[in-house]
């Protein structure tokens, strides 16, 4: 049994530990009940839910890379109605906090899903996947435009009586304006990062190895980038930050907490080890003990400023134009 030192809260929700199973890699949660103890998790995030069922992208959908995994599942899911009918009732027998991941291709899509979920028990909060193209605005991604993001969260906020987490994409010039937009529009927390847009090439066919062309890169290769973005977001906003991206061990989780995350999500690691979130939580407890930490919250946001004052001075200095 993991010791009390890992107990924490997220947006007022008690968590046994700060390790949460991430969306897209843990099904709807209930599929893993015979593999691990769901109640040992800090929480779980469901597969993304849409208004109607989505079949997903053509195969191949996955490609193993040297440092992780590429995927282009295409947001395949059963739809919110089937989730409420077939999945959620089975999850209610567990005490693990369940966060429903919500997505859409227009603000109205998100609103309809949240409305449907609001009437049901057994959900602790929502995680908005904003890495989707807004079909009503020429395909611009919600996650790349602070204005679109702000409008989306502002419209959902009055409907959502539960905590609202916004999952940000790394495929932007700067994470700070997006974190601020989510906060100012009423988000209770942000999670980051989602996957990096990537490409794998088959030299024999001279085509993409992924059926849909581009794919999202996840796994250990993106961890250093994810850590940097989590640190920047946590320095920018005071609402909780949930960190994810390449977490495989308890030490990885501790790094994200030190960088400013209040909790972490584990995704790609579950493809190799379905019990990864449970194992990582146990390893994190060992790490905390080794560091002499009596409460995991003592780690959060304790990173000394990378580079110190010299780095800040360099950032502020004007660019020199070579003649």
In the set 132, 149, 165, 263, the catalytic residue is 132
Active site residue 132: yes
Chain centroid to CA 99:
11
Contacts for 253 with CB less than 8 Å, ≥ 6 apart: 18, 19, 247, 264, 266, 280, 281, 283, 284, 287
CA distance 161 to 163: 7
Beta strand residue intervals within 81-203, DSSP E: 98-102, 125-129, 133-134, 140-141, 164-167, 189-192, 196-198, 201-202
> Do residues 99 and 46 lie in contact, with contact meaning Cβ atoms separated by under 8 Å?
yes
DSSP 194: -
Which phi-psi region, left, alpha or beta, contains residue 149 (left: φ > 0; alpha: ψ -120 to 50)? alpha
How far, in Å, CA of 265 to CA of 246, rounded? Answer: 10
Active site (catalytic) residues: 132
């Amino acid at each position: 049994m993991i010791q009390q030192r890992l107990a924490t809260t997220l947006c007022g929700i008690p968590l046994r530990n700060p390790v949460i199973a991430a969306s897209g890699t843990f099904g709807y949660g209930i599929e893993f009940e015979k593999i691990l103890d769901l109640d040992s998790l800090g929480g779980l995030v469901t597969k993304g839910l849409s208004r109607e069922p989505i079949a997903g992208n053509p195969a191949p959908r996955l490609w193993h890379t040297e440092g992780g995994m590429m995927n282009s599942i295409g947001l395949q899911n059963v739809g919110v109605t089937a989730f409420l009918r077939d999945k959620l009732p089975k999850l209610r027998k567990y005490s693990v906090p369940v966060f429903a991941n919500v997505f859409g291709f227009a603000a109205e899509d998100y609103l309809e899903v949240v409305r449907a979920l609001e009437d049901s028990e057994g959900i602790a909060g929502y995680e908005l996947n904003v890495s989707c193209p807004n079909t009503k605005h020429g395909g611009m991604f919600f996650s790349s435009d602070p204005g679109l993001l702000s409008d989306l969260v502002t419209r959902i906020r009055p409907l959502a009586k539960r905590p609202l987490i916004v999952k940000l994409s790394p495929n932007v010039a700067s994470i700070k304006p997006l974190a601020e937009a989510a906060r100012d529009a009423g988000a209770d927390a942000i999670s980051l990062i989602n996957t990096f847009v990537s490409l794998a090439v088959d030299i024999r066919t001279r085509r993409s190895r992924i059926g849909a062309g581009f794919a999202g890169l996840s796994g250990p290769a993106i961890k250093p980038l994810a850590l940097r973005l989590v640190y920047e977001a946590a320095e920018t906003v005071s609402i909780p930050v949930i960190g994810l991206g390449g977490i495989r061990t308890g030490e990885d989780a501790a790094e994200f907490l030190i960088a400013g995350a209040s909790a972490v999500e584990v995704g790609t690691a579950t493809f190799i080890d379905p019990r990864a979130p449970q194992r990582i939580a146990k390893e994190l407890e060992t790490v905390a003990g080794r560091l002499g930490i009596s409460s995991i919250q003592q780690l959060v946001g304790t990173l000394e400023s990378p580079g110190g004052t010299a780095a800040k001075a360099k950032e502020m200095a004007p660019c020199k134009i070579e003649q």
